[in-house]
Amino acid sequence: MKFDQPATTNPIDQLKVIGQPLDRIDGPMKTTGTARYAYERHDVARNAAYGHVVGAAIAKGRIVSMDLRAARAAPGVLAIVTARNAGKLAKGKMNTAKLLGGPRIDHHHQAVAVVVARSFEQARAAAELVQVRYATAPGAFDLSAARDGAPMAKANENSGPTHTAVGDFAGAFAKAPVQLDTTYTTPDQSHAMMEPHATLAAWEGEKLTVWTSNQMIDWGAGDLARTLNMKKENVRLISPFIGGGFGGKLFLRADAVLAALGARAAGVPVKVALQRPLIFNNTTHRPATIQRLRIGCEQDGRITAIGHESWSGDLPDGQPETAVNQTRLLYAGANRMTAMRLAVLDLPEGNAMRAPGEAPGLMALEMAIDEMAERLGMDPVQFRVVNDTQVDPEKPSRRFSQRQLVQCLRTGAERFGWAQRNPQPGQQREGRWLIGTGVAAALRNNLLQKSGARVKLEPGGRVTVETDMTDIGTGSYTIIAQTAAEMMGVTVQQVAVRLGDSSYPTSAGSGGQWGANNSTSGVYAACVKLREQVARQLGMDPAQAEFADGQVTAGGRSVPLADAAGSAGLVAEDAIEYGDLDKQYQQSTFGAHFVEVAVDAATGEIRVRRMLAVCAAGRILNPKSARSQVIGTMTMGVGAALMEELALDKRRGYFVNHDLAGYEVPVHADIPHQDVIFLDETDPISSPMKAKGVGELGLCGVAAAIANAVHHATGIRVRDYPVTLDKLLDRLPPVA
């Protein structure tokens, strides 16, 4: 189905099932432990062997020698795979470094071997016996040291333009009566998902099946085939349940490659789960940024010049953290400039994590907006409202398909009680606590990708949906079932959903908050085709047929849907493909975050006390699961603001706190009551579902709102995340 015209009225608009806050249909499996995750697939490969990965002990250099004799002689060992005996391997299209290193080492904990043994304990013990001698080479690990020599990043399909200019930014900024020129930093961060990167691999002749934890099935299958120099049709990738990904499982990683190589070498199925330190240093992470914001304003608060420059680092041929992209769209201003520079650093690969680009970019931009509002003596909400725009500021001829940012800000301000706020920082106390409130705007773009599905009308009238779409804990099973139920006129209980298998039609996959809108649109397209088949089978005009309550009605006749299935059933397959509406209209989601914090006047301890998110993100397909996504990402925002930071050893080039004990993330005790409001919105420009993504929008801006609240509580502006008490202690106001 080609979607190249705005959506008109269609069966989804009935909202009998879509838009309802239904419980997740996979919930019973999750809560009873019957949901099958990759490492637990004892049903498909009994008595599988175990692989344990050996990671490089240096960040850059070469392997001089590798002594495997003791490891090979260890009890239970079946095989040891290294770059020397693995055969010719290619590099995945979406990998920056090779997933099996040697003799060259590209980064710390790059996999250099996998030891396969009968038990996990035997594999781990034997891996400790692998003796590797290295020749270390000098490396670059410090972004601040590499900043001045970092060139402009190269544009690619993910980053978009890496330098933009509209009007005369330098001239307008120099003339502006009110100016801000400030630098902010964000640290390296880890996804820290609960489920590790894990794979079970089994060979049958030349055909390989992997049960793995991966967000993007088609990408993963393609890159695994490419890495192993196989035909893609000989690789089957299965991932029906994923215990968290957050971007860390978008791409093929070492667990899948080494499980496949280990299984081939040992002649038995092999399972590999990356050790937690390797998840931090071997897989991807969010790279640190240095961001310079320059804003020039008239005395009335109108922005006349806005410039945002960002520096980040990655391995050779890597890509930048796209931290400036939201600044191209969020506020008006005739004179504009953005630039992204990329330093070559010999650190583990930097890549997508939890709203890449906008999440770290808004950590800087929305603090800068607050700082400018303070210089102007304006209310921070009003300053944002004054600089709203209904057109793309870089391309004024292109309107936003929907933009309710002002409504988000005003609705949130009213609900949060913003009018009662004392604008002067450091003025409100409750005993030993300094109280402050903060606000930030949110933006996350609506990304469109082709997405397919297969829908079957089974004998008896049940409906089955098959698509390689994944569920990373976000509710894909449920909203896909809701879509099929709405389209076919049945209940959710009459729909079976099968996900995460590369033998199913290729979907958009999970990432970038594009999954829900695109995957359900693909199911919509397949259901349209199935409805046409059903109508013709029943001798009805497809254009007139209505599907409701298990019946198909047209021309005065009403027939049970099951009658069309017969004894063999009916099958339809289609995909949603997009025209150029996204080029005609700027498609984005918007929100506003409000936060109240308390800061201990003596110790600088920060407690988040209230949080509110107001979101405008198209049609909300399931308010219950959408709210769960948003409060989850609001929680991630607390982590980004107050605690998450990979501690980098700048001498040896690795992340020191590479486990869940040292890498601090929020726990229940850190999180207060959270409110979420979804504005009533449909976006017919986006898709036939009239929906857009919402999950990552709930993260964008949260950290800045918290940092702004800390400033309001204490009068202290911390521009280097995370905002920790040591950055407040020597500047706290005197204790009475």
Q: Domains along the chain?
A: 2-35+448-582 (3.30.365.10), 38-138+193-281 (3.30.365.10), 379-446+587-736 (3.30.365.10)
Return d(Cα 693, Cα 350) in angstroms, integer: 24
Query: For residues 360-399, b (16+ Cβ closer than 10 Å) or e, as one string?
Result: bbbbbbbbbbbbbbbebebbbbebbbbbbbeebbbeeeeb
Instruction: Label each residue of 254-295 as H, E or C.
Output: HHHHHHHHHHHHHCCCEEEECCHHHHHHCCCEECCEEEEEEE
Nearest residue to 588 (alpha-carbon basis) of 204, 330, 222, 346: 330
The catalytic residue among 321, 366, 596, 696 is 696
Number of H helices, E strands in the chain: 17, 32
Residues 6+ apart with CB under 8 A from 503: 236, 468
Question: Cis (ω within 30 of 0) for the bond into 722?
Answer: yes
CB 723 within 8 Å of CB 385: no
Pairing of strands 395-399, 606-616: unpaired
Does the active-site annotation cover 573? Answer: no
Which helix (H) or strand (E) segment holds residue 411: the answer is: helix 405-416
The CA dihedral of 502, 507, 511, 514, to the nearest 10 degrees, is -170
Tell me the per-residue pLDDT of 531-552, one tens digit each, with 9 for 90 and over.
Answer: 999 999 999 999 999 999 999 9
Residues of the chain with pLDDT under 50: none
pLDDT for position 581: 96
| CB atoms closer than 10 angstroms to residue 406 | 18
CB 527 within 8 Å of CB 535: no
CB 270 within 8 Å of CB 49: yes
CB 193 within 8 Å of CB 243: yes
From the CA atom positions of the chain, what is the Rg in Å?
27
pLDDT for position 736: 60
pTM across the whole model: 0.98
Give the distance, in angstroms, between the CA of residue 597 and the centroid of all CA atoms in the same chain.
26
